Amino acid sequence: MTLLADLAQALIRGDRLQVSELTCQAIAESMSPKAILDDGLLAGMKVVGVRFREREIFLPEVLMAARAMYAGMGPLKPLLVAEGVPSQGKVVLATVRGDLHDIGKNLVGIMLQGAGFEIVDLGFDVGPAAIVQAAKDHGVEVIGMSALLTTTMPAMREVVDLLRAEKLDGDVRTIVGGAPLSEEYARSIGADAYAPDAYTAVDVVKRLAGVA
């Protein structure tokens, strides 16, 4: 088995110490940082995603793999930046105004970073104007919005309307999620997509960002 296949397997097991060790070994052997990322870390996360969708593994195991991913990214990130390797894309994440439930949004952020996206996490109780402004400031491809309370969901529509008003809706796509939401609700407010869970969100964001 090659070093990068070993790296992918260690990530799948959620073995962060071995992921860190193998990443450093791959760097020491002068492997390309992009190959280490693509064929080691991201390849492992892809398998984790498939197994999660098939319900062969569960959220805590996905999060263990995500932690291992971070352990590998530690030594790798400076090299990727130095080589100008682009990320998969940039995503603004926020729990909308009036809502403080951010665990789901945090999980989406962890998964997206594990899939190679850069995340601008605005936190919770974020107003529509601040979300749109952050999207403009950071030049993101996707805005992800979360809500747990039915009373706060309408703030998502305000973001979609604001993007339209500023003629940004062609460049910045929107994805919504949270316990009380549905595909139908996403459509009704004009959002581009809905995801029922954090891992589905990764696939949907990849599609929205054009990197699927």
Residue ranges in contact with another protein by CB under 8 A: 14, 55-56, 58-61, 63-64, 66-67, 70-71, 98, 100, 103, 106-107, 110, 125, 149-151, 153, 179-182, 185
- Give me the least distance between CB of 134 and another protein, in Å please: 18
Residue 146 zone, left/alpha/beta (φ > 0; ψ -120 to 50; rest): beta
| Amino acid in position 109 | G
- For residues 70 and 169, which CB has a smaller minimum distance to another protein in the complex? 70
C-beta of residue 155 within 8 angstroms of C-beta of residue 98: yes
Query: Could you tell me how far CA 126 lies from the centroid of its own chain?
Result: 19
Provide the minimum distance between the beta carbon of 29 and another protein in the complex, in angstroms, as a whole number: 26
Min. distance of Cβ 150 from another protein in angstroms? Answer: 5
- State the nearest-atom distance from the C-beta of 22 to another protein, in Å: 18
Closer to another protein by CB, 132 or 186: give it. 186
Find the shortest distance in angstroms from Cβ 54 to another protein: 11
Q: In this complex, which beta carbon is closest to another protein, that of residue 124 or of residue 159?
A: 124
- Quote the CA–CA distance of 7 and 20 in Å, as a whole number: 9
Considering beta carbons, is residue 152 or 174 the nearer one to another protein? 152
Least CB distance to another protein at residue 57 (A): 8
Contact predicate 208/175, CB 8 Å? yes
**Residue 17 CB coordination number (10 Å):** 10
CA distance 158 to 203: 25
Query: Judged by CB, which is closer to another protein: 29, or 184?
Result: 184
Alpha-carbon distance of 110 to 1, in angstroms, equals 29
- 124 contacts: CB under 8 Å, gap ≥ 6: 94, 95, 99, 100, 101, 102, 105
Taking the least distance from each CB to another protein, the nearer of 111 and 134 is 111
| DSSP β-ladder status, 118-121 and 90-95 | parallel
